[in-house]
Structure 1
Amino acid sequence: MASASTPHNDSPNVGSPDAKEQHAPQEPGKQQEQGKQQDPKAQPANNRKRKFWLIGLVILIILVGVGVWLWYDLYGRYNESTDDAYVNGNVVEITPLVTGTVTSIGADDGDLVHAGQVLLTFDPSDNRIALQSAEANLAKTVRQVRGLYSNVDGMKAQVAARQSDVQKAQDNFNRRRNLAAGGAISQEELSHARDDLSSAQSALSNAKQQLSSSQALVDDTQVSNHPDVMAAAAQLRQAYLANARSTLIAPVTGYVAKRTVQLGQRIQPGTATMAVIPLNQLWIDANFKETQLGHMRIGQAVEITADQYGSDVKYSGTVDSVGAGTGSAFALLPAQNATGNWIKIVQRVPVRIHINPQDLEQHPLRIGLSTVVDVDLHDQSGPVLAQKPPQQASYTTNVYDQQLGEADAMIARLIHDNSATMGKSAQR
């Protein structure tokens, strides 16, 4: 009896490792690789796409290069900028000219003061007494000068009297001489007449000398311009100024800073008490490298940005001047390069930049603030250095002229009051 044959199965057993590998799912990366290998048309499309991006990148680089070149050719090489730039201005120190004790302080740090406003007041007792003494001295001098003019008139009258005496003695001598010639009188009486004539002539000569001396003191003068009166007036003017200077006033309009004076403090001449800073007279000191100054000229336009306001606020200005030396050349201890370990360092030169007053009024600045300046070098018509000296003073004040005017008015009043009763001869 034949046994039943087992059916033949070519596939591997289900439980065998080969069967598991065949039925296990394939990984995504492998599927993609197989897909690429199986799709030969996708390879040229990818190459074309890569070539397109490479060409675009090259064109972009070329455009950027052209843009950079155009920027440098049209703008970059005509501009020099630096952030080593700071706001600067006038710091007007308030210093007394006379010694005094502080009795009043009229302004403190940050206060706005106008030109002529009182800042400090000293105890005026000593200066006031000196002023009164000078007034009295001027009045006395005017009266003494009036006496000089009166002496001239008196000496003229005395000379006239002496001339009359001489004429009388001369006539008497002539008569005596005729009588003596005829023997009517003695020679002794004639000698007495001659002596009287000589005495009268000596008295006349003495009177004329005194008249000349008196006239020499008043010739070509009036009471107001007599040397003695002018000397007394100068003493009064000095005393008046000393009294006026016991009150310190602001020479300019600005803001008070650096107040160090205190009430009751004894101040000596030249002591710094406070400072007044006119914030409408600011400028910028920009320190450019020496390699940046080749095309910089006076008058070139400048764009200024202050760190206080940021880039939203732009100031306009112009190059006012280029420094006459580097910063290190004017240092307290200048560098000594004659050494073995010398290293070359790029130097910086201060350039003063004028700020547009309208911009400064809209956005006030403070001394010492940091700024960034950008100089436009297109305009090359200006000089490198100033070619002419200033035609007028850069800064002036007339607040002190009033003090002299008041002193002159006081002198004129004293002279008038003490010479009002003078005669016409004293007024010539």
Structure 2
Amino acid sequence: MSEPLTPRETNTARRRGLTAVAAAVVLAGIAWGGWHWANGRHVETTDNAYVAGNVVQITPQTGGTVVAIGADDTDYVKAGQLLVQLDPADARVALEQAEAQLAQTVREVRTLYANNATLRAQVSLRSADLARAQADAARAQDDVNRRTPLTQSGAVGKEEFQHATAQLTAAKSTVAAAQSAVLAAQEQLAASLTQTEGTSIEQHPSVQRAAARVREAYLAVQRARLVAPLSGHIAKRGVQVGQRVQAGAPLMTLVALDNLWVDANFKESQLQKLRIGQSAELEADVYGTKVTYKGTVTGLGAGTGAAFALLPAQNATGNWIKVVQRVPVRIALDPAQLAEHPLRVGLSMEVKVDTTDQTGKTLADTQRTAPVAATTVFDAQFKAADDEVAQVIAANLGRKTAATRVQ
């Protein structure tokens, strides 16, 4: 058996153990301090971060009865794909009425232009009558002038002179009547020209007004088809076949999962070193540490989350307890990584931002030149409406295509 340690030896062993532990703690502290000085102090972290994206509510522009549903929850749809079909019967009837009104208006305006030619002919005819009356008056005046000296000598009888004078008076009355007829014909032509002058049949205001009604009715027919404004996945479908929906009622939600970002809510004490353009590393709870996303800070919020809450805090009433506020910081994700490892809106993220680069700004000061989001799926509807108007006008002009397309 080994001899028991003496108290002195026990104390020595204890001191050596404590010294080793203390040395290990000191070394760990030095290592942590070195890491913090080199890297840790340049990193701001938060686990109060969530995936965000464009969540588009699909709402009808006109009311109607749902007759078909083209997409369900979790389905992927492309821009322009049919989502919901409303009953277009009423809209088609309105379109037919508007087209008939446009056709009638075009023919009425054509009549106005045709009347101009008739009125011009009337002016020419009245002018010819005036010239003939003036010639007759001049001849009657010559007869009176020749008979006046002969009357004094008795070569021409008084009765004959009075007859010539009466003919002159009648001729002058005829001239006055012809002048009035010419003036009336000119006024009628001027009045008619006020309705047609400076424009063509296709651009006439009455035709334009009727064409606008056709466009409105045509778009109502097209808007009975609710299409996807962008590509994405369907969520929260609540519409059912046979349901009567009103304009603006939410039917389903479309989420573009290929264009997501992260809203990281940092404490107000962490904002001092955060700058736009700084790099970030992100981990999603759904993938754990197996996947690390690369991101970039694209902007800092203009206020705290509490300031924009539905019921903002009323710090001036009652007992006050200070609560550390958080400010949302938007972080853009790498599209390639996002395509390889898809995320969902609302997933939790852990964010680490490298604040070493302090050259960026805390607030954006450049004006955006391009739209945040845009769609072209509705442009075809307006073009089709214009084509429909042009076709109706051309058919009632008596030729295949309208000379001037209605804008």
Partner of residue 253, structure 1: 231
Match of 2:197 among 202, 219, 225: 219
1:147 aligns with one of 111, 127, 130: 111
Kindly tell me: are residues 219 and 85 of structure 1, through their superposed partners in 2, closer, same or farther at Cα, counting changes over 3 Å?
A: same
What is the letter of the counterpart of residue 32 of structure 1?
E
Other-structure match for 1:164: 128
Structure 2 gaps, min length 5: 148-160
Q: Distance in 2 between matches of 1:270 and 1:71?
A: 56
Name which one, 1 or 2, has greater alpha-carbon Rg.
Answer: 1
**Residue number in structure 1 paired with 2:158:** none
Residue 79 of structure 1 and its aligned partner are, at CA, apart by: 0.6
Aligned to 1:385: 363
Counting only pairs closer than 5 Å after superposition, residues 20-419 of structure 1 correspond to structure 2 as: 32-33=3-4, 53=17, 55-183=19-147, 184=161, 185-339=163-317, 341-419=319-397
Q: What's the counterpart of residue 16 of structure 1? A: none
Give the drift of 1:217.
1.3
SS in 1 for 2:213: helix
Normalising by structure 1, we get a TM-score of: 0.86
Q: By how many angstroms is 1:55 displaced?
A: 4.8
CA distance in 1, matches of 2:18, 2:315: 54
Partner residue of 1:13? none
1:335 Cα shift? 1.2
Aligned residues of 2:140 and 2:164 also touching (Cα < 8 A):
no
Q: Which runs of 5+ in 1 are unaligned?
A: 1-27
TM superposition shift of 1:99: 1.4
State the distance in 2 between where 1:57 and 1:269 align.
73
- Aligned in 2, Cα 1:416/1:102: closer, same or farther, shift over 3 Å? same
Aligned-partner SS, 2:331: strand
Partner secondary structure for residue 299 of structure 1? coil
CA deviation vs aligned residue, 1:351-410 (integer Å, no higher than 9, x gap): 111111111100111111111011110111111001012111010001000011111111
Partner SS, residue 328 of structure 1? coil
> TM-score of the superposition, structure 2-length normalised?
0.91
- Answer whether contact 2:66 2:87 (CA < 8 A) is retained: yes
- Give the superposition deviation at 1:261: 0.8
1:158 corresponds to which letter in structure 2? Q
Instruction: Give, in whole Å, the separation in 2 of the partners of 1:271 and 1:421.
Output: 44
- Partners of 2:8 and 2:303 lie apart in 1 by 70
Indicate the SS of the match to 2:258. coil
Equivalenced residues, count: 387
